[in-house]
Amino acid sequence: MKRRSFITLLGGAAAWPLVARAQQPDRVRRIGFLRAAPPPERELEAFLRGLADHGWVQGRNFVLVTQWGDGNVARLPELAVMLVNAGVDIILAEGVVTTRAARAVTTTIPIVMIGGADPFVGGLVQSLARPGGNVTGFSTLAADIAGKRLEIFRDAVPGLGRVSILVPRAARNLFAAAQDQAAKALGLDLVYIDLPGPEAAEGVMRQAVSAGVQGALLLIGPFSSSSQRQAIVDLAAQLRLPVMYERREYIWQGGLVAYGPDAADLYRRAAGYVTTILAGTYPGDLPIEQPTKFELAINLKTAKALGLEVPPTLLSLADEVIE
């Protein structure tokens, strides 16, 4: 058996010391970035700034190798194969679905997950304290914030009773149990609608309106470019459909309300994990960490256009209010 094949078959912690010793300190590393959607401007800037804080400068001691899709999660397996074939030293992957696609292609290249709703899905990790394999990173506590998100949306939209959850089918199981439990406690009726990619946005949102919902939650929205976000916000305004988002960029472009972990902060922290692993630390020994910063943003101009009066108590909790 060839030595390379032997190292690959070892996998996990057993193989890691061999791989780490084989790396040359002065070699330019290849940091892979896998994502179903186009590049996230604010988050990417935070990641690169985080790397720079640890002495890693793009073009000098690392290059960023990207496989960014157009928003269609079905392309993730194909993108993951191309990224691994590019010979990357480590992979940055946003979300559990993306991480699973990368993990299906390699069990030896370290993967740093950002924003994984449930890292136990698909056996990505053995425990949060010691993941044990080639995956580590950050969980977004989707189950824990599901109730908070629905509660905020109910307060922002008086009379809210029927809510559409717009989410790619591949990611629905990551949210359904937590969302259903939270909705039951709040007296809300949920309608799940598959949102495979940006090209389906208009049909999906019109379907939500036809289903008689009073509002919609866009979860794991594959709308990362400014033009894609603007298109979804404009459509919501046209349909007079209150929509809640995960990230505040939507609010800057006219969305109603957003609540979720500070994604830029997670990317900045992920840079520390990337540099630690490239220095030789086994990823399975690094704990899955959780968000420490959350963002609530509200656009009062949009609320007024929709005829909504946001309670002062909710406004007092917001990190950002656009008037």
**What pLDDT is recorded for position 201?**
85
Alpha-carbon gap, residue 10 to 4, rounded angstroms: 10
Q: What value does the mean pLDDT of the chain take? A: 87
Asked if the model's pLDDT at residue 121 lies above 80, the reply is: no
Which one, of 8, 15, 48, 6, lies nearest residue 284 by Cα? 15
**What pLDDT is recorded for position 108?**
96
Length of the chain: 323
Structural fold of domain 142-260+295-322: Rossmann fold (3.40.50)
CATH architecture of 3-140+263-292: 3-Layer(aba) Sandwich (3.40)
Same CATH fold, 142-260+295-322 and 3-140+263-292?
yes
Domain ranges of the chain: 3-140+263-292, 142-260+295-322
Task: Give 279-315 pLDDT, tens digit per residue.
Answer: 999 999 999 998 999 999 999 999 999 999 999 999 9
Asked if the model's pLDDT at residue 223 lies above 70, the reply is: no
Q: What are the angstrom distances between the C-alpha of 255 and each of 80, 201, 216, 300? A: 32, 15, 12, 10
Task: Give 237-263 pLDDT, tens digit per residue.
Answer: 999 999 999 888 899 999 999 998 898
Place of tokens 């949060």: 128
Task: Give 71-91 pLDDT, tens digit per residue.
Answer: 788 899 999 999 999 999 999
pTM comes to 0.81
Long-range contacts for 255-258 (Cβ within 8 Å, ≥24 apart)? 255/229, 255/299, 255/302, 256/156, 256/298, 256/299, 256/302, 256/303, 256/306, 256/308, 257/152, 257/153, 257/156, 257/296, 257/297, 257/298, 257/299, 258/295, 258/296, 258/297
